[in-house]
Structure 1
Amino acid sequence: MRDSCLVILALLCSLHATFARFILPYVPENVDPPLPYQDPAFQNDVDDVPDDYFDPEVAPGLFQGDMAMNDEIYNYWRVGIRWDTFPEKLWKNRTVPYVISPLYDASDTVTIYQAIRTINFMTCVKFVPWNGKSKDYLLIWPIKYPRGCWSFVGRFGGAQIVSLEPPNQRGPNCLGTEGRAIHELMHALGVFHEQSRWDRDKFVKIHEENIIPKFKSNFDKQSLENTTYSFEYDYDSIMHYGAGFFSKEKGKPTITAKMPGGKRIGQRKGMSKGDCLKLNDLYSCFDNPKKRRKYYNVCQYMGV
């Protein structure tokens, strides 16, 4: 308990010192994140979601629920953004400056910090506190509209929002544990959902009869042309949909594993071994022979 209090105190002192050095940009309560293509039928209206079903990754009503992207990125979506096509979407020097909103209470700030510390430890990508000068950085903020957990995909330039809704009377939302924060930060690094892979139909069954009709496009998969993957399909990925995402009725699955024995799909506890490997691979962390063994071992021993 004492150690937790010391961590919180250190974080609050750090935040106070950071804010004293520079003025944070204005962040409106309502944001209009981009959606791919302008067909009005695609505009996900969360009012169509049954009242008895709420998931903070579904609530934003963006592409596949929680991803803000434009037409250009949509045309090349896959497991990770194609850096050969969009080199500008890669975070330079594998470094991601960030600001955590002062609107979060101490315990929520610690949860976000734990998510950041996990990625920093398990990969060569480094999240660093914004110095007030870097042009591109993340604003980790409790946006009120669209509410829930959502992020842009890859580096969009300038002050870039990662929305993490704090706990309220409805439940823990995005900050019950660090898992959902890791999920959205991985989107910000350029990672898409696992069940979007071209080869997914070998591993999972999509139950279209149980999906809210307006949200069926959220279960589209990538084209083979835009897909590259060096690792096997990952049921345990923190980037995988859960069994009931966008279901017409609570208890009716929209996606199930084809593996015998009722394999669990999706989790929001932490990075899986596959998540860790794919993120290190995406950011060329394995290119350095001295670091390759280190990060492979970290992924194997620390992955969920």
Structure 2
Amino acid sequence: MCEDLVWSSLLLLLLLRLSPASAASTAPPSRESVNQQQLVHYPAGVDFFDHEFSSVTADEFDPFGPDIGDDDLGIDDPETMPRLFQGDIAIDPYTYITLRLGVNPMRHPKRLWPNATIPFEISPRYDNRERNLIVSALKTFNSLTCIRFTPYDGEVEDYLLIEPPEDGPQGCWSYVGKRGGEQVVALQRPDETSAHCFSSEGRIMHELMHAIGIYHEQSRADRDNFVKIHWDNIVPRFKKNFKLVSRKRGKYAFDYDYNSVMHYGEYYFSKKKGEKPTMTPLQPGVRIGQRKTISKIDCLKINDLYGCLKGRRAKMYRSFCHLLGL
């Protein structure tokens, strides 16, 4: 109860700060407040909001706007193609506000799935091979973590709908944590140009981990201790995707994970893929951006987020992660 009041107060405070009326009473509207009046909404349940960095304008990031141009070559990966927050993260109003406040939205229990149970429905538009790959990814989470993906029975309000994108952004994308109601996880089907989100099970697991409640590994506040960002190699309009979600430094429960299925690859949003890396590890000999399956630390993070590394189950789930994760 007390925690809900704190969060309600924080959200109200930010809304008042962003209110055009309050801005008008003190000074001419800032670029930030103008941007708030130009929010871009995707169809099909996707809300995109220009996020917390004031250098970004809403129109330059509109996927339904003009063509991006011949120099914007950094979006050929299915996770960068949607052009959402950090490439593949759909932002709802709640997450948008909490990110602007510098608060981790996953600290609020309402963003977690109750009892670590996630009802899901798979679109009939997938063929048997695609459906089997999705089911295999779901079973991996059910085996290694305390998360339980269960078929949607039509009785609960909140569930995941795993479907190919239609009107919204193409590629692979998801919300982070439980949004409420029918919640889309978009996985573009293979076609003659690419396997898209079905090139590996890890692609699917990446988006499902977002839905579970996990952000990208390289958005950690301490990431500059582990990777070097090559800003000059990034397509200019996508530099914002390399900003840190939070600059608040603290003690992390787990080591930085180069092997995470949630880590960007070396050439994400690159001006010239294969030649100009946008991010390189500071530790020699390691690679980033694997999409085979979840890592040991990915597995541990999920179990930790849902309180399963405490009590009698802790030893069991730690063993599962260490024995079977990458």
TM-score (norm 1): 0.83
Shift of 1:178: 1.3
CA RMSD of aligned residues (A): 2.3
Q: Which of 288, 291, 296 does residue 268 from structure 1 map onto?
A: 291
Name the CA distance, whole Å, in 2 between partners of 1:82 and 1:146: 23
**Letter of the 1:260 counterpart:** P
Q: Which residue of 2 aligns with 1:117?
A: 139
**Contact 2:261 / 2:289 at 8 angstroms: preserved in 1?**
yes
Q: Secondary structure at the match of 2:206?
A: helix
Question: Which shows bigger deviation, 153-162 or 47-56?
Answer: 47-56
Partner of 1:237: 260
Q: Give the drift of 1:99.
A: 0.2
Rounded to whole Å, the distance in 2 between the matches of 1:176 and 1:37 is 30
Matched ranges for 1:1-304 at <5 A: 31=44, 33-37=46-50, 39-41=57-59, 43=61, 45=63, 47-48=68-69, 50=72, 54-70=76-92, 72-74=94-96, 76=98, 81-84=104-107, 86-144=108-166, 145-225=168-248, 229-251=252-274, 252-261=276-285, 263-287=286-310, 289-304=311-326
Q: Within 1, Cα distance between the matches of 2:196 and 2:262?
A: 17
Higher-Rg member (1/2): 2
Counterpart residue identity of residue 68, structure 2: D
**Identical aligned pairs, as a percentage?**
45
One-letter amino acid matched to 2:115: N
CA distance change for structure 1 residues 214 and 224 in 2, over 3 Å: closer, same or farther? closer
| Superposed displacement of residue 70, structure 1 | 3.3
Q: Distance in 2 between matches of 1:170 and 1:105?
A: 18
For residues 188-212 of structure 1, the C-alpha deviation after alignment (integer angstroms, 9 at most, x for no partner) is 1111000000110000000000101
Structure 1 portions without partners, runs of 5+: 1-28
Output one character per residue of 1:43-99: Cα deviation in whole Å (capped at 9) or x when no partner.
Answer: 25483574696111011110000000135424545xx95444x32111011100000
Partner of 2:185, secondary structure, is strand
Q: For residues 213 and 176 of structure 1, what CA distance do their matches in structure 2 show?
A: 28
Deviation at 1:226, TM superposition (A): 7.7
Q: 1:83 to 1:255 in 2, by over 3 A?
A: closer
Give, in angstroms, the shift of residue 171 of structure 1.
1.6
- Whole-angstrom CA distance in 1 between matches of 2:215 and 2:319: 24
Equivalent position amino acid for 1:193 in 2: H
Q: Which amino acid letter does the alignment assign opposite residue 320 of structure 2?
A: V
Give the CA deviation at 1:246: 0.4
Describe the superposition over 1:240-295 as per-residue Cα deviations: whole angstroms up to 9, x where unpaired.
Answer: 0000000011221000000123x2012110000110011111111112x2211111
- C-alpha spacing 1:181/1:116, structure 2 compared with 1 (3 Å): same
Determine helix, strand or coil for the equivalent of 1:47.
coil
Name the CA shift for 1:176/1:300 in 2 (closer, same or farther; >3 Å).
same
How far off is 1:124 after superposition?
0.3
Cα separation, partners in 2 of 1:151 and 1:32, compared to 1, 3 Å: same
Deviation at 1:146, TM superposition (A): 0.9
Contact 1:81–1:191 (CA<8 Å) still a contact in 2?
no
CA distance in 2, matches of 1:277, 1:104: 31
Distance 1:75 1:206 in 2: 27
- State the distance in 2 between where 1:272 and 1:266 align: 11
Q: Which amino acid aligns with 1:237?
A: S
Go from structure 1 to structure 2 and tell me whether the alpha carbon gap of 1:228 and 1:140 turns closer, same or farther (over 3 Å shift): farther
